[in-house]
Amino acid sequence: MRLGGKLLSGAFWLLAALGSQNASGAELLPYTVRNDSVPAPLGGLSGDPRRGRDIVLDRRRGNCLICHSAPVAGEPFQGELGPPLAGVGSRLDAGQIRLRLIDQSRISPRTIMPPYYRIEGLRDVDPAYRDRPALDAQEIEDMVAYLRTLTD
């Protein structure tokens, strides 16, 4: 039942918070934007789609389902603020997905999607999260690899 589920979900929505211990601090790896894409993997890292799936679902890391739906079973609360992720692997190539995860606002300035690999131009960041990106380069690459598998 709706109410019961909601009560159980109790834990706070964006509460992504507290997590991201992985985000390794200070310096961002350099990358090059071409049109709407970052063609080269960050730091030349290769992504693992299984880890990427975990990050997308993990409320303390990607927490992407707060806004998106994804074709995964057993996830009762799927978001509706962003487009469904199903089929994104056929709509966008890896470089295009990468830029959207790094900083969606480069494509749509008024977007509500957080910038996951950016530290400049943010204000009033909680001291616990200051000066490091929301996700690290490996996590970005893992999610790119996972999203590329969502072809239907």
Partner 1 sequence: MSRGRALALMVMIASLITPLITPLPTHADPLPSGTGFLSEDLQARQADEAANPGMLWVDEGARLWQSPQGATGASCASCHGDATTSMRGIATRYPAVDATSGALLNLEDRINLCRTRHQKAEPYPYESDPLLGLTAYVARQSLGLPMDVETGGAAAPFYAAGEAFFHRRQGQLNLSCAQCHDDNAGRSLRGDTISHGLGNGYPAYRLEWQSLGSLQRRLRSCSFGVRAVQFDYGSPDYLALELYLAKRAQGVAIETPAIRR
Residues of this chain that interact with partner 1 (CB under 8 A) are 2-3, 5-7, 9-17, 65-67, 76-81, 105, 112, 114-115, 122-130, 134
User: H or E segment at 103?
Assistant: helix 94-103
Q: State the amino acid at position 83 in one-letter form.
A: P
| Least distance to partner 1, CB of residue 93, Å | 25
Closest CA to 61 of 132, 127, 12, 116: 116
Q: What is the separation of C-alpha 108 from the centre of its chain, rounded to a whole number of angstroms? A: 16
Considering only 29, 57, 66, 72, the residue that binds ligand HEC (CB under 6 A) is 66
How far apart CA 135 and CA 12 sit, in angstroms, is 20
Q: Collapse the DSSP code of 37 into the 3-class scheme (helix H, G, I; strand E, B; otherwise coil) and give the result.
A: strand
Instruction: Check: CB of residue 114 under 8 Å from CB of residue 56.
Output: no
Which range of residues in 1-9, 22-30, 60-68, 124-132 is near ligand HEC by CB under 6 A?
A: 60-68
Q: Quick check: 116 binds ligand HEC (CB under 6 A)?
A: yes
Total residues at interface with ligand HEC (CB under 6 A)? 26
Residues 28-47 contacting ligand HEC, CB under 6 A = none
Residues that bind ligand HEC (CB under 6 A): 13-14, 56, 62, 64, 66-68, 81-83, 88, 91-92, 97, 100-101, 104, 108, 111-114, 116, 143, 147
